[in-house]
Amino acid sequence: MTGLVGNERARFFVAERFDGLECLTATFRSHRYAPHTHDTYAVGGILAGCETWNSRGARHYAGAGDVVFNNPHDVHDGAPYGEGYSYRMTYPSIALIRRIAVEVTGNPHVGTPFFPRPQVCDPQGVALFTLAHRAIEAGGDALAADEQLYRFYAHCLVRHAVLTPEETGREARAVARVRDLLCERYADDLTLDELAREARLSRHHLIRAFRREMGLTPHAFLVDRRVIAARCRLKRGETVAAVASAVGFCDQAHLTRAFKARLGVTPGAFRQAFLP
């Protein structure tokens, strides 16, 4: 990006699975956007500092914990307020947001969603968005990125676009099919679309139904299965690096974090206890 100076930074990347979703993470101290528009939505979260911008005939300010929205073709600019700001942003297509809105509402004629407020205080939404955005940026765990980003957009549509969510019933058989698939293919890089096809449910319906039936989201359940499989291999003395690769983690560090979060010890310490 042109115009960056000093300790400013910006990184642009793309998530192909979401209609070529464009993503940006940046810290701006002095960079100012000229007035412009997008053919897409602009949806993101402020992580630190304060941004100010003009849109819809008014001046707005957003700080840490705020979700910001620009609807397609909204004319807007953007500038740091005070010492600057850090933020993460996505630019979802109209078609993508429409599809998620249809799944959330159960209404195939929902039309084009509209976010009436350019800025809302929503720390829960920003936390969810940050996890999703970082997962996309890091790559490697498709289901985590898919699930978290989808949940964030659905969260925004329900809370901030005033859409009525579809009622979720008890989908025991559909959830069981997905559970069995995750148990059988825990080492694979599964996507949310694959799981939804297996369940014959929308992605939104699947996440809610699975969590209701199993107490975990599909991704959390998958991580649990990977940790269980890792325990068996570590007991046999396999190295931590080999186990991480075999059970589907991106690398040894991902296995270590997940393992310790669930067992209280690192996989290395666990393995050591079973060595002669």
User: Could you tell me if residue 2 is inside a domain?
Assistant: no
The percentage of the chain sitting over the pLDDT mark of 70, rounded to a whole number, equals 95
Neighbours of 34 (CB within 10 A): 7
CB 80 within 8 A of CB 51: yes
User: Could you tell me if residue 268 is inside a domain?
Assistant: yes
Query: 258 and 211, same structural domain?
Result: no
| 3-state secondary structure at position 107 | coil
Query: 117 and 62, same structural domain?
Result: yes
User: Could you tell me if residue 1 is inside a domain?
Assistant: no
Q: What does the pLDDT read at residue 18?
A: 84
Query: 243 and 140, same structural domain?
Result: no
Cα-only R_g, the chain: 21
Query: 152 and 18, same structural domain?
Result: yes
* Separation CA 75–CA 34 (nearest Å): 10
Query: 32 and 99, same structural domain?
Result: yes
Q: Which of 152, 170, 169 is nearest to 161 (CA)?
A: 152
CATH of the domain at 231: 1.10.10.60
Q: What does the pLDDT read at residue 1?
A: 38
Q: What does the pLDDT read at residue 142?
A: 85
Tell me: the pLDDT tens digits for 51-92?
999 999 999 999 999 999 999 999 899 999 999 999 999 999
Q: What does the pLDDT read at residue 274?
A: 84
Query: 23 and 129, same structural domain?
Result: yes
Query: 17 and 154, same structural domain?
Result: yes
> What domain range is 181 assigned to?
172-217
Residue segments in the chain with a per-residue pLDDT below the cut of 70: 1-6, 165-170
Domain count for the chain, please give it.
Answer: 3
Name the residue type at position 249: F
Q: What does the pLDDT read at residue 273?
A: 83
Name the residue type at position 253: A
Of 160, 184, 202, which residue constitutes the final position of a domain? 160
Q: What does the pLDDT read at residue 169?
A: 65
The whole model's pTM is what?
0.82
Q: What does the pLDDT read at residue 168?
A: 63
User: Could you tell me if residue 4 is inside a domain?
Assistant: no
